[in-house]
């Protein structure tokens, strides 16, 4: 990514920083509880327990969980992890606390 584009998107007072701070400082008691859980459930290592659950459902009832659903899940999970890792290595964007400063970031 060229330095000019990086500065516009991720530099100090950039669009990304302003949008992040707007969302980060918006509070909602329900979402403040749910979002850490959603973050935990979206961890890439959760692919395996989800797959195990799908396989148990498949073995219990093949009409409820056809094999094609499991195959689609595996393909989607593979490409999602691959794309996310490629984007992370390509963009080299630091975490918000490192880029903006830990004193400005609201952590749940």
CA 29 to centroid of chain Cα atoms: 21
Do the beta carbons of residue 5 and residue 12 sit within 8 Å? no
pLDDT at 1 over 70: no
In tens, the pLDDT along 43-62 reads 888 899 999 999 999 999 99
To the question of pTM greater than 0.75 for the whole model, the response is no
CA atoms within 13 A on the CB side of 71: 3
In the block, residue with structure tokens 């327990």:
49
CA distance 93 to 79: 21
In tens, the pLDDT along 61-90 reads 999 999 999 999 999 999 999 998 898 888
């Amino acid at each position: 990514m060229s330095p000019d584009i990086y500065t516009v998107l991720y530099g100090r007072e950039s669009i990304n920083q302003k949008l992040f701070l707007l969302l980060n400082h918006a509070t909602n008691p329900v979402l403040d509880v749910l979002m850490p859980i959603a973050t935990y459930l979206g961890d890439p290592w959760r692919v395996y327990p989800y797959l195990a659950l799908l396989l148990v459902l498949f073995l219990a009832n093949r009409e409820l969980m056809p094999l094609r659903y499991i195959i689609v899940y595996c393909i989607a999970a593979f490409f999602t992890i691959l794309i996310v890792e490629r984007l992370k290595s390509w963009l080299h964007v630091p975490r918000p606390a490192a880029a903006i400063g830990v004193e400005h970031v609201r952590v749940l």
